Structure 1
């Protein structure tokens, strides 16, 4: 009597595919991590971090600006994106806007008055200028955030 061999999928074949696929995707993931880590120094604009930028970031954090605004796409979507506000509006607009708050415009959400000194405003503007020079590869896609 002729025995017909089954040409089905065996446990050994499934195990080999699982381990082979796992190794393949680990290598792909490791390659993506390596490529990203290699590009970060060129994209981060870290060489432009000054003491004023650090102080401006401290103001950004202590005033909880991210609680309402987004910065490079991260944060709350209550108020406009500020990652590119320096390029869009310029330093004089930023300072005047901060000084005029709350605007009292009916039907508009109000930004609090933080009573920042001129030096603090300059530091915050330097921080926003620095973030505007980070290579985000056109993120966010809308210039107004």
Structure 2
């Protein structure tokens, strides 16, 4: 169990995830929609301990990408802390 690693940041990240209905588009560990990428292993795929948070901050700031013919992720205007918290939740 990861219960020992369940920090306040992880809990806040789950709250941000739920409040913004991320699962309405993304899949996480087999749960959710299949409109956008599955995020169960995004921490490892996008840089791990050193690179994931910088990647996620940059990615969130770039949205929507505006590429014709591609699905667009909305700009949620999350704070730096909220993005850090989502990163911790996805890492957990």
TM-score of the pair, normalised by structure 1: 0.58
1:31-68 CA distance string (max 9 Å, x none): xxxxxxxxxxxxx3111000000000000000000000
Match of 2:39 in 1: 82
User: Over the residues paired in the alignment, what is the CA RMSD in angstroms?
Assistant: 0.8
- Counterpart CA distance in 2 for 1:79 and 1:46 is 28
Per chain length, whose mean CA-contact separation is higher, i.e. which structure has more relative contact order (CA < 8 Å, sep 6+)? 2
4+ residue runs over 6 A deviation: none
Consecutive unaligned residues of structure 1, counting only runs of 5 or more, are 1-43, 131-145
Q: Does 1:94 align with 2:56?
A: yes
TM-score of the pair, normalised by structure 2: 0.91
- Counterpart CA distance in 1 for 2:56 and 2:79 is 14
- Counterpart CA distance in 2 for 1:92 and 1:71 is 21
Aligned residue pair count: 87
Rg larger for: 1
